[in-house]
Structure 1
Amino acid sequence: MNNNKGRRNFIKKSAVIGLGATLSFDAVLPVVLNATGKPAVLGGRPLVGAPWPKWPIWNRETDEPLVLEALRSGVWSRAEKVTLFEKKWAALIGAKRALATVNGTNALITAVAQSDIGGGDEVILPPYTFIATLTAILNAGAMPVFADVNPDTFLIDPEAIKKKITSRTRAILPVHICGLPADMGAIMQISKEHNLVVIEDACQAWLAEIDHKKVGTFGHAGCFSFQNSKNLPIGEGGAIVSDDEAFMDRCVSYHNLGLPYGTASARPGSKLRLTEYQAAIGMVQMERLLPQTATRNENARYLVQQMKTIKGITPHTLTPGVTQAAYHLFPFKYDQRFFANLPRAQFLKALQAEGIPCSGGYMPLNDIKNLGNTFETKNYKKMYAASELSYERFKENNQCPKNETLCHEAVWLPQNVLLANKEAMDMIVSAIQKIQKNAAAIKKGTV
């Protein structure tokens, strides 16, 4: 699922067992297998029959007045509602300022471009992320450098970052993938020691926290996405947050045709302004984000404890100090050796057949195919020596073996699943147990 369509359709198709309020799971006991009979993938009855919470959520009575007000005003381009949305988002995240953009990808592109990152610079990023992180670096003419992940957390490993720093390293782009906070304490220490810019890709990490401080506010800037599948859905949209006033002035200028703004003089720019009705949708959805985030975290904690009782299933580990995750996705690792060597693809198909939406997640972003023809473009040829533009050299220098393994073991559950109730979490565990009990038959294709 290393492409836009696949990742977004994955959550869109996850269609209510019930929108539970925040649940309390003080006593966590292992789920006892209550699913017997033929596996659904072999023609049996699916364990889950009711639909999962639909996404996005829209309530006509409470949600439409503000949007209709924006539409009927005739003021559709950026104006007061976008400014208000930015102020509300900055306050919620705990940043001095926020700038809304047309999407998260362009939030990243803007933040990188206005951090004085360009040709000849190296930028460190993880290989386990969406392609937009890489796009922002390539768009600036910089050279991406991949640092391996910690497979327990699914996140970039600070120790791997240290090994990739050279005299040309300009920035680190840590990604809070799946809404799980990266180790920002260690990353910011590395940044301080080497005088590096840190831009947090928090496009999947709304309201995630480390020691009660929101991600996106640790580095020099943080970027968020509000695409339709996201925990704060607008359809399309993004935002940059930062406490650096001069940097934010440059970002405002860049997103508005490069026109002067505040302390920022005219510059090469783009047109990335959010509309008024998008901002209205965003403010409506923002009202739900706090209680939904609490519910996702409560269910995720319960699910982690239950999954730990199943051999061959290893739920993610949160970075020390995390006080809240966003859980845009709930990731865990699957070891087929404990499932009669049933390949992951068959495990996913069997789990889906039982009524549990899931996917295998990302493929390695450090694959040279994701560079496209970047190294063959006129600009890159002018900025780099021919030896630096060898795809084979790039591949050799950007090996991430732990990520390679992770990409073949990972399983994702979408965020809307975590909005269901405790019984629904038990059904997920029971479905995995049912597959494990019948793994040999599923692999063979017969009961």
Structure 2
Amino acid sequence: MKKKNYTRRKFISVLSAGSAALALPLTAAAGQQRNWSAAKLAISGGAPVRTQPWPQWPAMIVDDAMLANITATTKSGAWSRINNPVNGTVASFEKKYAALTGAKYCVGTGSGTQALGVCVDALGIQPGDEVITSPYTDFGTISSILSARALPILADLDYKSYQIDAAAIEKKISPNTKAIMPVHIMGSACNMDAIMAVANKKNIPVIEDACQANFAKYKGQQLGTIGKLGCFSFQGSKQIAAGEGGAVIGNDDVLMDRVYTIQNHGTNKKGQNITIGQKMRMNEFEGSILLSQLEHAVERFEKRNENARYLSSKIKNIPGLTPQLQYEGSNSSGYYLYSFTYDKKHFNNADRALFLKALGAEGIPAGGYIKGMQHDLWTDHILQLDTYKKNYSKQQLQFFKDSLQLPNCDKVSDTVIVISGGAILLGSKADMDDIINALEKIYTNRNNLS
């Protein structure tokens, strides 16, 4: 069967399509773990494990408070943060989000990609410079580097965690390396001790792409506060959603002031036009939608972690399925996605596409995930641009091209399976049992997969 690759957002939209806003009550039989040896797979005409719809994200969290906030913002006429820079919805969100993450400062932006781009600019990264990052990410990570006409250098992954590998980072460091941008993929922490050890040894700043990792902690510290700067996304599929939106958090007074100025088209808080910057401001409508979610955002985060721990405790006992490795010290995950590795040898050599088709037939929405960014057209495109030919030596560009061989990333891309964490991980224990039952049913009847 033809292999499918999914973008982060395409997977979420496919998952949500056709779902009801709230899951219906389960029948007495649903949610109970069973012996599936006498069952027939739904893909072969048997009864599916689950027939109830799953909740839709973010429609399930729309409430009176959110609608009231949007209405109040509309009536106020103050739709841009510059209309109320101190007490507006964006400014209020920044203060509350900083407090929730334990950061000293927060600056709202128009998207997670913009947040990353502002950080690149704030660190003075420019043509001729290199930024080391993960190939297993949304293109927004890469785009934030390319926008500065810097060169993204991709380092391979730790296969078990899907995270960028610190040892691979160290091998890619050159005199032109001006930043390291680890991506906390799925919302789980990279091995930040190892990464920071490499960065500190070489005195290279770290920009954390924590766009999927709202509230997740590593050794008690909020992801995004371990490096120099941390970035988050509030795009419609994220755990805190505003359609679009992003934020930068940090503790360095001077650097965060520069972040504010750059996202405000180069204009500082005194209204002085002092540097180069694009307008990347969050607007007041986004701020009002985000503010209404913060009261219950941590509660939802904790529920996702509770359900994910339960899923992992069961799934790890099914041969051929291995939950994403969480590094020692990963106190929690944002669980943008719940993920595990699929080994077809334990499933009658059925390829991943067939396994996913069988899982979908049982009523469980799941999919493969993104492919490595090293395979996309941008890698050839930038090599043809005059700005890259002019600002980078032939040796640099050849090193970039040669370093696109990333076998662990390819292996992850071919074997990972994801389930949306946004809404599904907010379900009941019975909902989680439906997922487990479907996986166990397919494994028990694996010889019928062909």
Contact 2:8 2:370 in 1 (8 A): no
In the alignment, the residues of structure 1 paired with residue 280 and residue 186 of structure 2 have an alpha-carbon distance, to the nearest angstrom, of 25
SS in 2 for 1:411: strand
1:58 has 2:65 as partner: no
Q: 1:216 to 1:71 in 2, by over 3 A?
A: same
1:424 has 2:427 as partner: no
SS in 2 for 1:123: strand
Partner of 1:9: 13
SS in 2 for 1:233: coil
Partner of 1:324: 332
* Aligned-partner residue type, residue 217 of structure 2: E
Shift in Å at residue 367 of structure 1?
Answer: 2.0
In the alignment, the residues of structure 2 paired with residue 317 and residue 395 of structure 1 have an alpha-carbon distance, to the nearest angstrom, of 30
Q: 1:267 to 1:372 in 2, by over 3 A?
A: farther
Partner of 2:353: 345
In the alignment, the residues of structure 1 paired with residue 120 and residue 24 of structure 2 have an alpha-carbon distance, to the nearest angstrom, of 41
1:438 has 2:445 as partner: yes
Shift in Å at residue 262 of structure 1?
Answer: 5.8
In the alignment, the residues of structure 1 paired with residue 403 and residue 376 of structure 2 have an alpha-carbon distance, to the nearest angstrom, of 11
In the alignment, the residues of structure 2 paired with residue 311 and residue 294 of structure 1 have an alpha-carbon distance, to the nearest angstrom, of 28
Partner of 2:189: 181
In the alignment, the residues of structure 2 paired with residue 17 and residue 8 of structure 1 have an alpha-carbon distance, to the nearest angstrom, of 17
The correspondence of residues 43-442 of structure 1 with structure 2, limited to 5 A, is 43-56=45-58, 57-78=60-81, 79=84, 80-261=88-269, 266-367=274-375, 369-371=377-379, 373-390=381-398, 394-415=400-421, 416-442=423-449
Contact 1:232 1:289 in 2 (8 A): yes
SS in 2 for 1:433: helix
In the alignment, the residues of structure 2 paired with residue 397 and residue 153 of structure 1 have an alpha-carbon distance, to the nearest angstrom, of 21
Calculate the aligned-residue CA RMSD, in Å: 2.2
Q: 1:55 to 1:137 in 2, by over 3 A?
A: same
In the alignment, the residues of structure 2 paired with residue 100 and residue 343 of structure 1 have an alpha-carbon distance, to the nearest angstrom, of 43
Contact 1:180 1:326 in 2 (8 A): yes
* Aligned-partner residue type, residue 418 of structure 2: W
Contact 1:102 1:274 in 2 (8 A): yes
Shift in Å at residue 4 of structure 1?
Answer: 6.1
Contact 1:147 1:164 in 2 (8 A): yes
SS in 1 for 2:206: strand
Q: TM-score, normalised by structure 2?
A: 0.91
In the alignment, the residues of structure 2 paired with residue 280 and residue 128 of structure 1 have an alpha-carbon distance, to the nearest angstrom, of 32
Contact 1:234 1:281 in 2 (8 A): yes
Shift in Å at residue 196 of structure 1?
Answer: 0.2
SS in 1 for 2:282: coil
* Aligned-partner residue type, residue 442 of structure 1: L
SS in 2 for 1:150: coil
Partner of 2:43: 41
In the alignment, the residues of structure 2 paired with residue 348 and residue 4 of structure 1 have an alpha-carbon distance, to the nearest angstrom, of 17
In the alignment, the residues of structure 1 paired with residue 18 and residue 297 of structure 2 have an alpha-carbon distance, to the nearest angstrom, of 19
Contact 1:19 1:420 in 2 (8 A): no
SS in 2 for 1:196: coil
Contact 2:12 2:420 in 1 (8 A): no
In the alignment, the residues of structure 2 paired with residue 406 and residue 359 of structure 1 have an alpha-carbon distance, to the nearest angstrom, of 13
Q: TM-score, normalised by structure 1?
A: 0.91
In the alignment, the residues of structure 2 paired with residue 40 and residue 186 of structure 1 have an alpha-carbon distance, to the nearest angstrom, of 45
Percent of residue pairs bearing the same amino acid type:
37
In the alignment, the residues of structure 2 paired with residue 384 and residue 261 of structure 1 have an alpha-carbon distance, to the nearest angstrom, of 36
| Farther off after superposition, 332-341 or 185-194 | 185-194
* Aligned-partner residue type, residue 399 of structure 1: Q
Q: 1:254 to 1:11 in 2, by over 3 A?
A: farther
- Residues 385-427 of structure 1: CA deviation (Å, up to 9, x unaligned): 345445xx53422322111111111000101211111111111
Shift in Å at residue 35 of structure 1?
Answer: 7.8
Q: 5+ residue gaps in structure 2?
A: 27-31
Contact 1:103 1:226 in 2 (8 A): yes
Q: How many residues are aligned here? A: 432
In the alignment, the residues of structure 2 paired with residue 395 and residue 14 of structure 1 have an alpha-carbon distance, to the nearest angstrom, of 42
Q: 5+ residue gaps in structure 1?
A: 21-29
Shift in Å at residue 372 of structure 1?
Answer: 5.4
Q: 1:404 to 1:230 in 2, by over 3 A?
A: same
Shift in Å at residue 376 of structure 1?
Answer: 1.7
Shift in Å at residue 12 of structure 1?
Answer: 3.2
Shift in Å at residue 14 of structure 1?
Answer: 7.6
In the alignment, the residues of structure 2 paired with residue 130 and residue 12 of structure 1 have an alpha-carbon distance, to the nearest angstrom, of 19
